Amino acid sequence: IFGGDFLQIPPVVKHRSGPRRYAFDAKCWERLFPAPEQKQTLRGVHRQASDPQYYEFLRRLRYGYLKDSHEDLALLRQMASREDGCDCLQIYAKNDDVNKVNSARLKKLGGQPRVYTAEDSFAKGFETTREIMEALDEQCPRVLALKVGAPVRFTHVRNSVGLHRGMDGVVVDFSDTGEGDEGWPIVKLTSGQRLVVTRSIGACIRADARGPRLAAR
């Protein structure tokens, strides 16, 4: 089973000057999926389900056919304006680029950073390898540094009413209920809601889709 979103970031290439070819441009694509029913498009909406106007705009933007009017541009400016003064989210194809941008912007904020170090767990008798550790690093950073004023986005949360992956906000304080001397970050969401963000599983590796957990972070 192959799954992915071809309308987000471009294909990752080793060299920036190299050609960017999508999976469906490969010669083996039609051999692997010759029947039309093998290619399915998921159309269910969750994050923007409560705002159909915004969803329709995003759908037009993804496919590249914005309306020939000022309506779409006005909506884009409205969604891009943030009362907290933070920049809009930028998406990069490589973690190295993400880390460089995050570090540079964090340095611009005043105050000392709060540093959180992840804890790894492994199945009993499972032998860790460099490949396993790299796989964990790809899914979840080993170290996270935050400051008051840092914009954040939830990527590892259990979806529920009013809380889901992709929600963003700003760190406004740190609680004194965390372990050690650090405390947990208090995040003010764009909706105005405040949450004390605690630890959660950010990476998980299994032998197969339904197999036992081999490693987690």
Q: What is the pTM of this model?
A: 0.63
Would you state the pLDDT for residue 125?
A: 85
Q: How far apart are CA 192 and CA 122, in angstroms?
A: 38
The model's confidence at residue 39, banded by pLDDT at 50, 70 and 90, is confident
Tell me the average pLDDT of the chain.
82
Sequence letter at residue 129: T
| Rama region for 192: left / alpha / beta (φ>0; ψ in -120 to 50; rest) | left
Which of the listed ranges 40-54, 61-75, 125-139 does the model predict with the highest average pLDDT? 125-139
Q: Where is pLDDT greater, at 181 or 189? A: 189
Most confident stretch, 1-5, 73-77, 169-173: 169-173
8 A C-beta contact, residue 94 and residue 12: yes
User: Does residue 176 come out as left (phi exceeding 0), alpha (psi in the -120 to 50 range) or beta?
Assistant: alpha
Q: Write the CB contacts of 4 (distance below 8 Å, at least 6 apart in sequence).
A: 23
Distances (CA, A) of 13 to 10, 27, 71, 116: 9, 18, 36, 31
Q: Percent of the chain at pLDDT above 90? A: 26
Determine the average pLDDT of the residues in 54-77: 76
Predicted pLDDT of residue 83: 56
Q: Read off the pLDDT of residues 126-170 as tens digits, 9 standing for 90 and up.
A: 888 888 999 999 888 899 999 999 999 888 777 666 677 778 889
Q: What is the pLDDT of residue 67?
A: 67
